[in-house]
Structure 1
Amino acid sequence: MSLLFETIKCENRQLHNLKYHDLRVRHSLNRLFKINDDFSFENTIKIPDWVGEGLYRCRVSYSRNIEKIDFFPYEYKHPKKIQLVEDKSIKYPLKFEDRSSFNHLLNSFPEVDDIIIAQNNYLTDSTFANIALFDGVKWVTSITPILYGTKRSFLLENQMLFLDEIYIKDLKFFKKIALINAMRDLDLAYQFEVSKNIISIKK
């Protein structure tokens, strides 16, 4: 079985959103191994001395126990084209290191930067993030994501994001899109247009 992993934002030597990462790890350990320990990243991760100010990605690989903890400098990437693809076969309820289904999709559309997966015409997630869409008043996200992301959980709990059923055909009613994950927030939002199942990000 593939290892599980968490990506945690580390900025200026501070780890972010640990409450939601802890909850997801506890859920995964309970579901896979019936482990009910009171897991806490605060008691697990020691930030290395070489990690300085600025933005880093902390990656924790684990199974029953923590296998590896790595830190990497992080820079934001900005997509230009995103393909919309209907694919009901993709399931990713737990955050496994085996991401072959996503990689296969990406390899099938080498001309785009990312893919947003639709299932039964509902938008779900991109290959690496939950999606958020701004209608001019509020941000909404899919009620049926492929993976329940930690940033998504934080934003929903704090009423900065709201659940909705979002059809492909509804995209034209939204003004901005954001791809949210542990490293990315709603402030990384893009105006866009849609044509022939391709979302083009406006400069």
Structure 2
Amino acid sequence: MCPFIETIRVEQGVLLHIDYHNQRMNDTRSAFWPNAKPLDLNHFLLPPTAEGVMKCRVVYSDVIEEVSYTPYSIRPVRSLRIVCSDTINYTYKSTDREALNQLYEQRDTKDDVLIIKNGYITDTSIANVALFDGTHWFTPKHPLLEGTQRAQLLQKGIIQEKEIMLEELFSFSQMTIFNAMIPFQSLVLDVNSAFISY
């Protein structure tokens, strides 16, 4: 079994949304190691106080295996290619990204891929998505991975869950791509332009 990971945004030495990372990590550990006692990442992490944004990467199984910190900057995503896979499964944030990487390799000249499963929009290869209808932001009800920022945005009512079929994509005006490292609405694409293509 491959280890699992949590990727945590660090700003000026402060770990962001750590409670959500703790929850997901312990949910994963209880699914694979039912007898494992919950862990608190706060007891294992001591991020550097450098200015700017750092990425904290935690590799774990039933125990914390590795912690690393690296400087981070957002990789621009201006275009997406739609790819389909009805067998892709990334329910748990694992170090095994082979299936996602294979889909990412199909991006051609685009920056990333938008993954369709059983006719429904899910995620990109690295992030959750939300679509704007002019009034509300909707995120796919069944993403490949339930991200920590996604959980927070849902809890705050900033986004809403919705089953979104591929055929409905162009009824939305904008798409935002987000994860623990990419803040909500920091990457926004115009759906009705040439950004997203088949």
- TM-score (norm: length of structure 2): 0.93
How far apart, in 2, do the equivalents of 1:184 and 1:78 lie?
Answer: 10
Contact 1:60 1:66 survives alignment (8 Å): yes
Contact 1:171 1:194 survives alignment (8 Å): no
How far apart, in 2, do the equivalents of 1:35 and 1:81 lie?
Answer: 44
Which AA in structure 2 matches 1:56? M
Which AA in structure 2 matches 1:2? C
1:54 maps to which of 40, 52, 55: 52
Name the residue aligned to 1:5: 5
Name the residue aligned to 1:25: 25
**C-alpha root-mean-square deviation of aligned residues, in Å?**
1.7
Q: Do structure 1's residue 188 and structure 2's residue 186 form an aligned pair?
A: yes
Contact 1:178 1:185 survives alignment (8 Å): no
How far apart, in 2, do the equivalents of 1:156 and 1:184 lie?
Answer: 16
1:76 maps to which of 68, 74, 77: 74
Name the residue aligned to 2:62: 64
Name the residue aligned to 1:102: 100
Name the residue aligned to 1:199: 196
Which AA in structure 1 matches 2:182? R
Shift of residue 79 of structure 1?
1.2
SS in 1 for 2:123: strand
Shift of residue 194 of structure 1?
5.1
Q: 5+ residue gaps in structure 2? A: none
How far apart, in 2, do the equivalents of 1:19 and 1:193 lie?
Answer: 33
Which AA in structure 2 matches 1:31? A
Contact 2:36 2:62 survives alignment (8 Å): no
- TM-score (norm: length of structure 1): 0.91
How far apart, in 2, do the equivalents of 1:107 and 1:187 lie?
Answer: 25
How far apart, in 1, do the equivalents of 2:53 and 2:35 lie?
Answer: 33
Q: How does 1:27-176 map to 2 (within 5 A)?
A: 27-48=27-48, 51-176=49-174
Which AA in structure 2 matches 1:94? Y
Could you list the runs of 4 or more consecutive aligned residues of structure 1 that deviate by over 4 angstroms after TM superposition? none
Structure 1 vs Structure 2: percent identity of aligned residues? 31
Which AA in structure 2 matches 1:80? R
Which AA in structure 1 matches 2:2? S
Name the residue aligned to 2:177: 179
Shift of residue 111 of structure 1?
1.8
How far apart, in 2, do the equivalents of 1:128 and 1:191 lie?
Answer: 16
Shift of residue 195 of structure 1?
7.5
Shift of residue 156 of structure 1?
0.2
Q: 5+ residue gaps in structure 1? A: none
Contact 2:80 2:107 survives alignment (8 Å): no
SS in 2 for 1:163: strand
**Greater CA deviation, 36-45 or 14-23?**
36-45
Contact 1:83 1:116 survives alignment (8 Å): yes
**Greater CA deviation, 92-101 or 113-122?**
113-122
* Pair 120,195 (structure 1): closer, same or farther in 2 beyond 3 Å: farther
Q: How many residue pairs align between the two structures?
A: 197
